[in-house]
Structure 1
Amino acid sequence: MNSITDTARGARKRTPLNRSQIAGFWGAWAGWTLDGMDSFIYALVLTPALAELLPRSGYAATASNIGLAGSILFALFLVGWGLSFVWGPLADRFGRTRVLAATIFMFAIFTGLAATSQNVWQLGIYRFLAGVGIGGEWALAGTYVAEAWPEDRRKMGAGYLQTGYYAGFFLAAALNYTVGVHFGWRAMFLTGAVPVVVAILILLRVKETDKWRNAEARVVHTRPLREILGPGYRRRTWVACALLTIAIIGLWAGAVYEPSAVIQLATRAGANKAEAIRSASIATGILSIGTILGCLALPPLAERIGRKWTLAVYFAGMAVSIAASFGWAFYLPNGLVPFVAWLFVLGFFGGNFALFSLWLPEQFETRVRATAFAFCTSFGRFVGAGVNFLLGAAVLRMHTLGVPVALTALAFVIGLLVIPFAPETKGEVLPE
């Protein structure tokens, strides 16, 4: 009996983290949090920013024009995200921490500059350049944590890391509830310059991972992008690209239009402008809490039933919750409360992104890991940019945002058909 108890105790014991691993994780988490905050600031300030800038650019600030311009600007942002694949080869060549700091510095500077925009063209340029920086942060933060943390802790580390992005959503909502309501959209963009401090701390405090240093000593770097598209990795690269594309299309369709949907529902219920903005902030906070819980629940589930079945559960949940929130609750006579309730569910299953932080590093060796992570995420963003543009056109044509967004649930149905082609890595150690 005692031996069984001792064995169970040993199984529960985790390898302790050293100071560098802890500092590195918090640096990556803080960067990812501020990245999420930056990404969602745009969604929250979309309506007031374009209401001011469209007339200055020669366009009427009608609801249709705001919807179309918002989709075009967000598509530009996603194209910037897509171009961020350049960070992967740089990180495989020069190290994770320095390039991670560079991505944070870039998105912080151009988010801050967005506060100075005098027309929609300037705002579009700043958001595009901020997107290039933001897009690299996830790939490099995920790669860093996977390589720096011990094997018996890195899976939960992926879940913990992913909570940062949605903590950033919550932070953006809190800032909008306070700063945005009182000081306007320009002040919101100015808060996005804060991550510069995090970038400096990463450069000063975080050491490079041993796995990367050891791989650097063994391998003469050639062309990692060519390798992940070659015979050895081709299938898993393209399957990962497809799955990430589906995740990006679905989650961003819901997340970007969520504040506008809540504002419309709150206004329909009789709320004034300030009350509607506060309602959107509260709804975003609820969405964020749901997603954080989904991220934390995912790693244990992935260890129990495997990576593929876990993603299938989360994709099915996304399909149902997007259809129910935007296709059903949005059109109810008093739909605000049911819509927000479904947002929590949508947020929970939106935690599927945590699986990619766990799963992608397991599919590629150290010498090409950052390149593969960055390429797969960037591919999805390019496609997502095109879908977002089409979504904006559909909103303009149909004069409603509910049905077009609800139709993105079909992407997750397609995802369920793609999952069987992915490799199952449950129980495998991170490849060297």
Structure 2
Amino acid sequence: MNSTTDRARIARQRTPLNRSQIVGFWGAWAGWTLDGMDSFIYALVLTPALTELLPRSGYAATPGNVGLAGSILFALFLVGWGLSFIWGPLADRFGRTKVLAGTIFTFAIFTGLAATSHNVWELGIYRFIAGVGIGGEWALAGTYVAESWPEDRRKMGAGYLQTGYYAGFFLAAALNYTVGVHFGWRAMFLTGAVPVVIAILVLLRVKESEKWQKAEAGSAPKKPLREILGPAYRRRTWVACALLTIAIIGLWAGAVYEPSAVIQLATRAGMAKGDAIKTASLATGLLSIATILGCLALPPLAERIGRKKTLAIYFAGMAVSIAGAFGWAFYLPNGLAPFIAWLFVLGFFGGNFALFSLWLPEQFETRVRATAFAFCTSFGRFVGAGVNFLLGAAVLHMHTLGVPVALTAIAFVIGLFIIPFAPETKGEVLPQ
């Protein structure tokens, strides 16, 4: 009896985190939070920004032009995200913390500059470069936490880290509810410059991971990109690319069009413009809270039933909730409340991204880990940029955003057939 109790007590014990690991985590988490805030600011201010800038660029600010221009600019942003794979080899060569600070600095500066835009072309350039910075933050933050935290805590560390991105969504919604409503879209972009402070903190206070230091000290000159595409890693690299592509398509289809959908439903229900915008902000906050819960629930589930089964559950949940929200609730006569209820479900299963923060580092050795993480995430963003452009064209052609977004649920169904080809790493330690 006593021995059983002792074993249970030992099982509950976790290796304590030292000061460097704690400071490093919060630096990475804060960067990822402000990354999420920065990403979602665009979705929230899309309509007012383009309504002002399109006439200055020689185009009428019709709903169709706003929708098409918004999709083109977002596609440019995603292309910038895609080019962020450049950060991975840099991090494998020069270290995680210096390059992580560089990504934060890049997206913060160019988000702030977006507030000075005089036309859609300037806004597009600023969002493109900001995307290059934003795209690198996840790969480097995920790699750093996986390498720096103790083996018995890094799985939950991945879940905790991923909550930051959706806390950023919540922060963006709160800012839109206060700053955006009263001071406009330019003030919203200016708030995106705040992460510069976090970049300085990361650079000065966070120590490099010991795993990277050991790998760097003992390794010969390497070409990490060539290695992850070589025979040893080729299959898992391309399977991870495919799964991340599906996750990114679903995230941006749901998240980018969610505020516009809520505003349309609220307006249809008789709300004034200001109240409709506030309702969209509240719905975004609910979506964020649900996603944070999904991120926290995922690591224990992945440890219990395995990585592949967990991702299958989350992908199935995404397919059902996207179809339910945009394909069904959006078209109900009084669809606002049902749509928001479906958003909670969609948000929870949107926590599938936490699995990649946990799973990708387990599939690659230290010397190529950051490159692999950055490459796999960037590949999906390139495809996501194309899908987003097609979505914008479909919305313009069909004069509705519900059906085109609902059709992205098909991607998650395809994902269920790809998951079996991925490696199962449950119970394995992080490879050195």
Offset, 1:221: 2.9
CA distance in 2, matches of 1:3, 1:334: 60
2:156 partner amino acid:
M
What whole-Å deviation, never above 9, does each CA across 1:119-157 have from its counterpart, x for those lacking one? 000000000000000000000000000000000000000
Secondary structure at the aligned position of 2:116 is classed as coil
What whole-Å deviation, never above 9, does each CA across 1:204-238 have from its counterpart, x for those lacking one? 11000000000001102320000000000000000
Segments of structure 1 that go 5 or more residues without pairing to the other structure are none
2:187 partner amino acid:
A
Secondary structure at the aligned position of 1:7 is classed as helix
CA distance in 1, matches of 2:369, 2:199: 22
Offset, 1:368: 0.0
Where do 4+ consecutive residues of structure 1 move more than 3 Å?
none
CA distance in 2, matches of 1:172, 1:158: 22
Q: Which residue is 1:55 aligned to?
A: 55
2:11 partner amino acid:
A
CA distance in 1, matches of 2:221, 2:414: 37
Whether the 8 Å CA contact 1:290–1:345 is kept in 2: the answer is yes
Whether the 8 Å CA contact 1:93–1:221 is kept in 2: the answer is no
CA distance in 2, matches of 1:413, 1:339: 21
Question: Is residue 289 of structure 1 aligned with residue 328 of structure 2?
Answer: no
Q: Which residue is 1:93 aligned to?
A: 93
Q: Which residue is 2:337 aligned to?
A: 337
Offset, 1:251: 1.1
Offset, 1:324: 0.3
CA distance in 1, matches of 2:387, 2:220: 39
Q: Which residue is 1:403 aligned to?
A: 403
Secondary structure at the aligned position of 1:118 is classed as coil
Secondary structure at the aligned position of 2:59 is classed as coil
CA distance in 2, matches of 1:321, 1:148: 35
What whole-Å deviation, never above 9, does each CA across 1:276-328 have from its counterpart, x for those lacking one? 11011000000000000000000000000000000000000000000000000
Q: For 1:125-140, list aligned pairs within 5 A.
A: 125-140=125-140
Q: Which residue is 2:366 aligned to?
A: 366
Secondary structure at the aligned position of 2:423 is classed as coil
Query: TM-score, structure 1 length as denominator?
Result: 1.00
Q: For 1:145-224, list aligned pairs within 5 A.
A: 145-224=145-224
CA distance in 1, matches of 2:140, 2:387: 25
Q: Which residue is 1:18 aligned to?
A: 18
Whether the 8 Å CA contact 1:80–1:130 is kept in 2: the answer is yes
Q: Report % sequence identity.
A: 88
Offset, 1:272: 1.1
Q: For 1:26-65, list aligned pairs within 5 A.
A: 26-65=26-65
What whole-Å deviation, never above 9, does each CA across 1:343-400 have from its counterpart, x for those lacking one? 0100000000000000000000000000000000000000000000000000000000
CA distance in 1, matches of 2:58, 2:269: 32
Offset, 1:329: 0.3
Whether the 8 Å CA contact 1:112–1:190 is kept in 2: the answer is yes
Segments of structure 2 that go 5 or more residues without pairing to the other structure are none
Moved more, 116-125 or 216-225: 216-225
CA distance in 1, matches of 2:405, 2:268: 19
1:355 partner amino acid:
L
Offset, 1:3: 1.3
1:226 partner amino acid:
R
Q: Which residue is 2:304 aligned to?
A: 304
Give the aligned CA root-mean-square deviation in angstroms. 0.4
Q: Which residue is 2:244 aligned to?
A: 244
Whether the 8 Å CA contact 1:111–1:193 is kept in 2: the answer is yes
Secondary structure at the aligned position of 1:232 is classed as coil
1:62 partner amino acid:
T
Query: TM-score, structure 2 length as denominator?
Result: 1.00
1:417 partner amino acid:
F
Secondary structure at the aligned position of 1:400 is classed as coil
